[in-house]
Amino acid sequence: MKKTKKIFGALSLALLLGLIVGCGSGEDKNSTDSGNKGTTDLQKIKDAGVIKVGVKEDVPNFGYMNPDTNKNEGMEPDIARLIAKELTGSEENVEFVGVTAKTRGPLLDNGELDMVIATFTITDERKETYNFTTPYYKDEVGFLVRKADKFTDTASLDGKTIGVVQSATTKEAIEKQAKELGVTFKYQELGSYPELKTALTSKRIDAFSVDKSILTGYVDDSTEILKDGFSPQEYGIATKKANTELNDQLNKSIEKWEKDGTLEKIYKTWNLD
């Protein structure tokens, strides 16, 4: 009995050491390859023949999972398909993964996604953690309110509770605007846009705030979008910090499509003008 215990203890210790060493050497490989990592990643995508893209699935016209057809629809999946065609030759070689404002960053970091095109606003703070391409769309922050409350503009929401989604740039934008106007708000941070819409309907929040184009997907008979808009939001495609080659490639594609009107056509398809 004592002997088996000793053997078991020794085996588990060896296994543990092996795991630690294995993970450690993995890190070393990363550090020595950091010079070539960019090329390797872009080449890896071309070799694999598939690009893994993170898109939103709950934003009509931008990135939406249609429950009837079970396909990703919207401006961003369309752009992703064009990119897949550029890199691998066919629009079908794209694997969509649904993301939220919360998960889009971490999934890039751990390598599950090659790129993220999910209403990701470019900010200087974020640029320290991810690569962003030149913007492919410009939008501004707005408010969705209940018609019955008869709010008129941002200042009329003084002292009210604003619902925002976690990880979005919305809260900072609103705080800046509030300071300029000399009003104060209370905030509720929830996890997703549908949750915020439900909270608005149950009167848990007085206004649901995010980029205006995202709001258009949630308007209904009892709600309206305030005319006020502020804080221009530029969306860019995000890639892992080390992946500079892919970033340059994507930059070139976006600039090309902006010039030749492909982006305009996509905007028109989804009523985003």
User: Can you tell me the distance from the alpha carbon of 118 to that of 88, in angstroms, rounded to the nearest whole number?
Assistant: 21
Token pair recorded at residue 92: 């079908």
Q: Considering the rule CB under 8 A, would residue 162 count as an interface residue with other proteins? A: no
Q: Considering the rule CB under 8 A, would residue 31 count as an interface residue with other proteins? A: yes
**From 40, 134, 156, 188, residue interacting with other proteins (rule: CB under 8 A):** 188
Q: How far is the CB of 61 from other proteins (least distance, A)?
A: 24
Report yes or no: 117 and 237 within 8 Å, Cβ to Cβ. Answer: yes
Q: Report how far Cα 272 is from the mean position of its chain's Cα atoms.
A: 18
How many residues of this chain bind other proteins (CB under 8 A)? 29
**From 12, 36, 66, 166, residue interacting with other proteins (rule: CB under 8 A):** 166
The Cβ of residue 60 has, within 10 Å, a number of other Cβ atoms equal to 18
Q: Considering the rule CB under 8 A, would residue 146 count as an interface residue with other proteins? A: no
Q: Considering the rule CB under 8 A, would residue 106 count as an interface residue with other proteins? A: yes
Q: Considering the rule CB under 8 A, would residue 36 count as an interface residue with other proteins? A: no
User: Can you tell me the distance from the alpha carbon of 203 to that of 225, in angstroms, rounded to the nearest whole number?
Assistant: 16
Stretch that binds other proteins, among 11-19, 50-58, 198-206, 223-231 (CB under 8 A): 198-206
CA distances from 6 to 18, 36, 185 (A): 18, 46, 64
Q: What residues pair up with 144 in beta bridges, in sequence order?
A: 208, 225
Residues lying near other proteins in the complex (CB under 8 A) are found at 24, 27, 30-31, 34, 101-102, 105-106, 109, 125-126, 129, 166-167, 171-172, 188-191, 195, 198-199, 201-204, 241
